[in-house]
A = this chain, B = another copy of it.
Amino acid sequence: MEGVDHLADERNKAQFDVEEMKIVWAGSRHAFEVSDRISRLVASDPAFRKDNRTMLGRKELFKNTLRKAAHAWKRIIELRLSEEEASRLRFYVDEPAFTDLHWGMFVPAIKGQGTEEQQQKWVPLAYKMQIIGCYAQTELGHGSNVQGLETTATFDPQMDEFIIHSPTLTSSKWWPGGLGKVSTHAVVYARLITDGRDHGVHGFIVQLRSLDDHLPLPGITVGDIGMKFGNGAYNTMDNGVLRFDHVRIPRNQMLMRVSQVTREGKYMQSNVPRQLVYGTMVYVRQTIVADASNALSRAVCIATRYSAVRRQFGSQNGIETQVIDYKTQQARLFPLLASAYAFRFVGEWLKWLYMDVTQRLQANDFSTLPEAHACTAGLKSLTTSATADGIEECRKLCGGHGYLCSSGLPELFAVYVPACTYEGDNIVLLLQVARHLMKTLVQYRSNVLKAEDWLKPNVILEAFEARAARMSVACAQSLSKIDNPEEGFQELSADLVEAAAAHCQLIIVSKFIEKLQQDIPGKGVKQQLEILCNVYALFLLHKHLGDFISTGCITPKQASLANDQLRSLYSQVRLNAIALVDAFNYTDHFLGSVLGRYDGNVYPKLYEEAWKDPLNDSVVPDGYHEYVLPMLKQQLRSARL
């Protein structure tokens, strides 16, 4: 059976040019080419094997990650990879590691918040990995509320040093990735105190471990915070705990681009705009939106392929029906497929928005920052929640076998789900959007008369605009009835969250529609994207029907027409489903799923995989003689257990 493509019939059904869709998905021909080349490089290197990951104990697992990180770095050097290529390589290695924080948080923090001088000193060391850094912000008692951090950095003018200290248990740094076991340095966030005055939270470069023997420096207590959700998953990362007992660092290790402490201990703001910090936030959150489309598309790819392989019930001519042909399966799976594409395109737009905002900031134009900040906050919230739920739904769509680690889906879920919490809790973020929203208002009523009307982009857009606007208006009206605005905001926060979500969904739908107004080459490619765009919009409309009808944007009859249209769209997606997930261009290595294999040869491989479990090392399990035999032989009374 090896070499046979069990999904060939499915691929032959496709009505569009898959190769062209791959370019659309990747964003550009160049991006496709790099991703394609690097993903094959990783997949073909046995050092990057990951199929045994869920069976390893914590220590073994972690050691294995250290090995892979070193090997990845070695290959990056040997092949003289560009920054873009190196970053794709880490992406396709597909294993959370200390290097994520080193490159993704430590280096950017120094580049963003350090002075020229500080950058010249620290960045080259970090670029060569002569030091390894992490980002120590959150504390045991303080996550979302950064301004509530308790760690202190007290300036000692006599020694020209800061004293970093953890005054309470809850001030212990808690969660930073790469901190527990590997990082030699950290950017530590602490309350700056000079001359008895608290100037709020600032960043400091602190060395944690000796560069000779890796032992923690005096005054530093550091360790791993323990097992996290899932097998393999984020347990490859040494999320850490860190306590300071009056640790001294030179004054010039405070990151001083935005504010400074002088030799005399005077606290001063520089003329660099503080808004730069929000620019970084916009950057981080747009990468999170891009990651959402990566994670959701992987899960959808696995579930779609396996739904075409799996057969159940409905036996006609002796052969059972493919699960993907069931309408209930389509109604759950295809909206997720459409969501993966929708998130891709809104992510592309956010990337553009970030570049635009950055250019404006450099020209001292702060006008678009609040809007961009609210947008990225809301889209981060919406796309990560939908992706976490979507991965789990894909797992359920694979039936019982989705529960096996060899399906790849449990680990994908466990690795992905913290995205809903980190970089801003998703509900807190929507409340930020809501604050921004309580401003502009419109009136509107839909003109849909027949099901086909729901395929018109302007019809869809108008309905989403009206719904978002009216939900905001309703909130604003309710707020106006409560005297204390802040109390009102608290009291109505659940409604405000819903209005914010409606606003963000409008953005995603409108950016998908904008994408379709571009020139998209390739036979049938644009048509497929139009279908997916309609699926995404009408699925949301059905899911949030109460919003649309109760605000009078559409009538129950129009809702029913939308539902009819949705059913017919699903039939169109059905033919192209496999090709649409092939367009993600994922290697079997990256997918890491027996159920999602490109060739669809699922069952023999599942069977093969089972025997690799450590429990199958011996026919009679360890513990049989001590515990099972005495039970069977009624000799438990005398057994020592």
A-side interface residues toward B, CB under 8 Å? 47, 54-59, 62-63, 66-67, 69-71, 73-74, 77-78, 128-132, 138, 140-145, 148, 169-170, 172, 175, 180-182, 184, 211, 213-216, 223-231, 234-235, 238, 241, 311-313, 315, 320, 326-328, 331-332, 392, 395-396, 399-400, 402-406, 410, 414, 417-418, 420-422, 425-427, 431, 490-495, 497, 542, 544-552, 556, 559-560, 563, 567, 603-604, 606-607, 609-617, 619-624, 626-632, 634, 636-637, 639, 641
Q: Which of B67, B132, B421, B620 contacts A403 (CB 8 A)?
A: B421
CB <8 Å contact, A620 and B215: yes
Q: Which of B73, B228, B492, B607 contacts A405 (CB 8 A)?
A: B228
Give every chain B residue within 8 A of A229 (Cβ-Cβ): 230-231, 395, 403-405, 410
What is the copy number of this chain in the assembly? 2
CB <8 Å contact, A552 and B556: yes
Give every chain B residue within 8 A of A311 (Cβ-Cβ): 141
CB <8 Å contact, B603 and A141: yes
CB <8 Å contact, A616 and B224: yes
CB <8 Å contact, A623 and B67: yes
How long is the Cα–Cα vector from A509 to B429 in the complex, in angstroms? 33
CB <8 Å contact, A603 and B169: yes
CB <8 Å contact, A431 and B632: no
CB <8 Å contact, B216 and A619: yes
The 8 closest A-B pairs by CB, nearest first: A545-B546, A63-B623, A229-B410, A550-B556, A331-B494, A66-B623, A57-B57, A70-B627
Q: Given A140-B606, A545-B545, A77–B169 Cβ distance below 8 Å? A: no
How long is the Cα–Cα vector from A138 to B130 in the complex, in angstroms? 55
Min CB–CB distance A375 → chain B (angstroms): 20
How long is the Cα–Cα vector from A641 to B626 in the complex, in angstroms? 40
For chain A, what secondary structure do more than half of its interface residues adopt (helix, strand, loop), or is it mixed? helix
How long is the Cα–Cα vector from A350 to B211 in the complex, in angstroms? 65
Give every chain B residue within 8 A of A630 (Cβ-Cβ): 70
Min CB–CB distance A612 → chain B (angstroms): 7
Question: Quick one: closest B residue to A633, CB to CB?
Answer: B130
CB <8 Å contact, A180 and B144: no
CB <8 Å contact, B628 and A214: yes
CB <8 Å contact, A140 and B403: no
Q: Which of B400, B603, B612, B624 contacts A170 (CB 8 A)?
A: B603
Question: Quick one: closest B residue to A558, CB to CB?
Answer: B550
How long is the Cα–Cα vector from A56 to B78 in the complex, in angstroms? 38
Q: Which of B47, B392, B421, B560 contacts A641 (CB 8 A)?
A: B47
Q: Given A312-B144, A613-B224, A624-B66, A71–B328 Cβ distance below 8 Å? A: no
Question: Quick one: closest B residue to A180, CB to CB?
Answer: B615
Give every chain B residue within 8 A of A69 (Cβ-Cβ): 627, 631
21 sample A-B contacts, Cβ–Cβ < 8 Å, listed by A number:
A54-B227, A57-B57, A58-B613, A58-B615, A70-B630, A70-B639, A128-B634, A132-B632, A140-B603, A140-B606, A141-B603, A225-B610, A227-B613, A229-B395, A230-B410, A238-B615, A327-B490, A396-B420, A399-B421, A403-B417, A494-B567
